[in-house]
Amino acid sequence: MRRQIAVIGGGLTGLTAAYDLICVGHDVTIYEASSATGGLARGFQDENWDWSLEHFYHHLFESDKDLLQLVNELGITDQLFFPRPESSVYYKGTIYPFDSISAFFDFPGFNFWQTLRFGAVTAALRYTRFWRLLERTTADQWMRRWYGRTVYEATWKPLLINKFGRYYDQVPMSWMWARIYARSQKLGYFKGGFQTFADALTHAFFVRGGKIHYQQPVEKIVETNGRITITTSEGHTATYDQCLVTSSPQSLLKLAPAIPALHDTYASKLENLKSIGAVVMVVAMRWPLLKNTYWLNIPATSPDKTANEIPFLALVEHTNYIKNKHYGGDHIVYLGDYVEPDHPYFSMSKEELEELFLSHLSKFNVNFNRDWVRKTWLFRAKYAQPVPLVRHSQNIPDLQTPIPGLYFASMSQVYPWDRGTNFAVKLGRRVSKLMQSQRDTEPETDD
């Protein structure tokens, strides 16, 4: 049956679902609030650059099979390559490589026997598949016990604090398992940036007859007589057989206020999903900041970001991963942090954040001064990192909402996996299959 389908949001989840749905013969229209598709993987391009650059740092892994399959379907495999950049950790004022067995033994944060313990426990996690057992306890409790206090506090605890702030000791061990289990050391990137992938997917959608309404935020979704009517911010209305929403859980409740009236349990699951935002400053420099390191983990000792030595969680020197010739000779550095939506970083001006972030760069290179900086850009997203809690699999809302014909897919539903482009694609394909197979039936139940 040929259906009229609306997709709210042109990020990679919505775009993938729209592509799959139009490939099987449905009429699909995307409503995108911004001026381009791609979501958090969207890129921008300075006038001197040959390649675009992501607003928020991106790469993929060799194990990202869902994304790689879609890349192959789009015929752009030749646009993908896999360098092996260096990852390091900032420990007591010094940068140490931390991405190989030899680097682990050279790291001064723990001794020989602690290093062996670190390797043995990590290997055990990498080869287990019983993540549901691990979601019964927090990562803080599990790793403190099995890695030992010294190893945990030197490595994993700072990562959890940086990623989740005040929630760091509530996140289940299954989330940490997924990071260790699913990731490779080689990191993938597209020639031209991730915008190459987003553009190829958008083009494939277009040539099959798909429609995209840019800068058309949707404000209301109503079900009437088995069909879905949407209303945009400009007052335009349109009616569809099915609708997929790919925004945050809180946005869905605002868009479809009938959900709480129809199903308290589903609405409660949406309300209880926690997330934090991302703030990233991109800095174009005339000289490199770090010698070889692509990804530098910054230690955090307190969930209160103002109490830590460095006001951001990661320093990512993109051009120690991708050659700077593609960016007009600029050396590109990301300074990023995950913070809650009400954090001051979301209300501070670009100039204030620039002063705060750049003032710490001399700690990583004593020669740094402000003359090195050619230009900066600031990007913020209030819904960027879902926060899972213990036994989170029991609290994930179904892809099919209580409203017939209305579906919901967000990064809060990819658990136990962490947010990322691969799982955005995987989720998009999963919800599109559900939409093809179900119509006005009981909501899907996750296994």
Residue closest to 364 by CA, chosen among 318, 321, 315: 315
Q: Which helix (H) or strand (E) holds 180?
A: helix 173-182
pLDDT score for 438: 72
pLDDT score for 447: 39
Q: Does pLDDT of 179 surpass 90? A: no
Angstrom CA distances, 251 to 154, 246, 256, stand at: 38, 9, 9
pLDDT in tens, 26-62: 999 999 999 999 998 999 999 999 999 999 999 999 9
Dmax over CA atoms of the chain, in Å, equals 68
Query: What is the layout of strands, in order, in the sheet containing 187-190?
Result: 60-61, 187-190, 80-81
- pLDDT (mean) for 369-381: 96
Q: Both tokens of residue 33?
A: 């609030």
Question: Which pairs count as long-range contacts for 250-257, CB under 8 Å and 24+ apart, including other chains?
Answer: 250/383, 251/383, 252/401, 252/408, 252/410, 255/8, 255/218, 255/219, 255/220, 255/221, 256/221, 256/222, 256/401, 256/403, 256/406
Q: Which domains, from first to last, does the chain contain?
A: 4-79+191-273+391-437 (3.50.50.60), 100-182 (no CATH), 274-387 (3.90.660.10)
Higher pLDDT residue, 179 or 317? 317
pLDDT score for 442: 43
pLDDT in tens, 213-234: 999 999 999 998 889 999 999 9
Q: Does pLDDT of 178 surpass 70? A: yes
pLDDT score for 185: 75
pLDDT score for 440: 41
Percent of the chain at pLDDT above 90?
80
Beta bridge partners of 187: 61
Split at pLDDT 50, 70, 90, the class of 444 is very low
Kindly report whether the peptide bond that precedes residue 311 is cis, defined as omega within 30 degrees of 0. no
Q: Does pLDDT of 121 surpass 50? A: yes
Percent of the chain at pLDDT above 70?
98
pLDDT score for 443: 44
Q: Which residues, at least 6 apart from 92, have a Cβ–Cβ distance to it below 8 Å?
A: 108
Angstrom CA distances, 62 to 67, 100, 201, 418, stand at: 10, 17, 20, 16
- pLDDT (mean) for 397-426: 93
Q: Does pLDDT of 146 surpass 90? A: yes
pLDDT score for 439: 56
pLDDT score for 147: 95
Is residue 142 within 8 A of residue 125, CB to CB? The reply is no
Q: Both tokens of residue 7?
A: 């997709």
pLDDT in tens, 234-252: 999 999 999 999 999 999 9
Q: Does pLDDT of 209 surpass 50? A: yes
pLDDT in tens, 2-12: 999 999 999 99
Tell me whether residue 424 is exposed, middle or buried, using C-beta atoms within 10 angstroms of its C-beta: 0 to 12, 13 to 18, 19 or more.
buried
Q: Does pLDDT of 197 surpass 90? A: yes
Which of helix, strand or coil describes residue 2? Answer: coil
Q: Both tokens of residue 130?
A: 């019983």
Arithmetic mean of pLDDT over the chain: 92
Provide the terminal-to-terminal Cα distance of the chain, rounded to the nearest Å: 28
Tell me whether residue 78 is exposed, middle or buried, using C-beta atoms within 10 angstroms of its C-beta: 0 to 12, 13 to 18, 19 or more.
exposed
Split at pLDDT 50, 70, 90, the class of 315 is very high
Angstrom CA distances, 83 to 43, 86, 125, 182, 316, stand at: 20, 10, 25, 18, 15
User: What phi and psi values does residue 61 have, to the nearest 5 degrees?
Assistant: -115, 155
